[in-house]
Amino acid sequence: MREEIRIRSMQIMGINPNSAPGYDNNGPGNDPRKLSQGPWRIGDLVSLMICANFKKKVHNSHIKFEYNDPVHKSLKANIIFKNVVDEFIKNVDRKNERFYDVYDPGLLWLASPYYVKKYGSEIIPELYWDKKEYNGDEYPWGEYVLFAPLLGWHKYDTQKGMTMEFVHNICDRLHEKYGDKFYLILPPNYKSSLDSKNINRIISESLYDLAYIISHSKCFIGGDSGFGHLAGCARLKQQICFHWEERKENFVYNDWPFYFVNPFSLQGQFLGETWSTYPQVDKDITDYHEFLLENNSLNEEQIDKLITILD
């Protein structure tokens, strides 16, 4: 019998294992219907699809995905993850929900790199695109370079952003090198001193259109964001990733105990594995480089190196 697994549109956040059910932060107890929940963000969803693709390719599982969150609809996850998901569920009865088929691989930043390392880059989903669903402008497909600075797409950006001086510097250097084939991705209605620069801008409220533009570029440059994870799946010619902390080697269970109490996950295989929030990339196809930001910036020597390695 073929296993059927369901991916919820909402993420179960877990409980505090340091307190018994009903105490401190565990007021609702262990009832998964009442635990803290939030929709999967783009980067989380990409990593989750890597894990689902493992189940599909290795276990021949039938993958179901709850397609009802506005972010997932703007991304048109029912199209781009068509190669992974067998069935998209559009109406979910949360009141009478049963959990017997729910799939949760556990802490994604341990699980997804583990599966890629063990089974190879074919576990990374190949994004599916439908040109008829694209409503953006036409670009010199496969020839342009994109930079997506963290400037307010998500509240997470305010914690790990980029200084405007750094963004200006990078934009100037990239525009100098690529001219009209350099594009800057900015959030809708974003206003800043960048407006005074003669740089091509891409602004859209459609996540599908932005993902389509990213996936058909020559090179994507960005930070720890959902766009970076989508670019990893796109298998671009080149990708540059900025990050704020190095990978954690020899991951220790006690560092993140909250994530090891999810009522649906099987965590044991990931204990001791390397934690990584970097995008998973097929390095046989993509010339991939990482730069570690210090004080939300790079020094001139690092910027020079970045510009040099770009095609």
Residue 175 confidence (pLDDT): 94
Report the CATH number at residue 156. 3.40.50.2000
Q: Residue-wise pLDDT tens for the chain (311 aa)? A: 789 999 999 887 665 555 555 555 555 555 666 667 788 999 999 999 999 999 999 999 999 999 999 999 999 999 999 999 999 999 888 888 888 899 988 888 889 999 999 999 999 999 999 999 999 999 999 999 999 988 765 555 555 678 888 999 999 999 999 999 999 998 887 766 676 678 899 999 999 999 999 999 999 999 878 999 999 999 999 999 998 766 666 666 555 555 555 666 666 777 777 788 899 999 999 999 999 888 889 999 999 999 999 98
Same domain? For 112 and 28 the reply is yes
Same domain, 82 and 66: yes
Q: Specify whether 110 is located in the same domain as 168.
A: no
Whole-structure pTM value: 0.90
Q: Is the domain of 146 the same as that of 26? A: no
pLDDT at 274: 77
Same domain, 165 and 70: no
In this prediction, residue 161 carries a pLDDT of 72
Clarify whether residues 227 and 260 are in a common domain: no
pLDDT computed for residue 69 by the predictor: 94
Q: In terms of residue numbers, what domain contains 145?
A: 131-247+279-309
Residue 223's pLDDT is: 86
Q: Is beta strand 145-148 parallel, antiparallel or unpaired with respect to 182-185?
A: parallel
One domain for residues 64 and 124: yes
**Residues 82, 207 within the same domain:** no
Angstrom distance (rounded) from CA 127 to CA 58? 19
Give the distance from CA 10 to its chain's centroid.
16
* Shared-domain flag, residues 293 and 189: yes
Q: Are residues 208 and 254 in the same domain?
A: no
Q: Are residues 114 and 257 in the same domain?
A: yes
Q: Are residues 58 and 112 in the same domain?
A: yes
Number of structural domains the chain divides into: 2
3-state secondary structure 200-239: EEECCCCHHHHHHHHHCCCEEEECCCHHHHHHHHHCCCEE
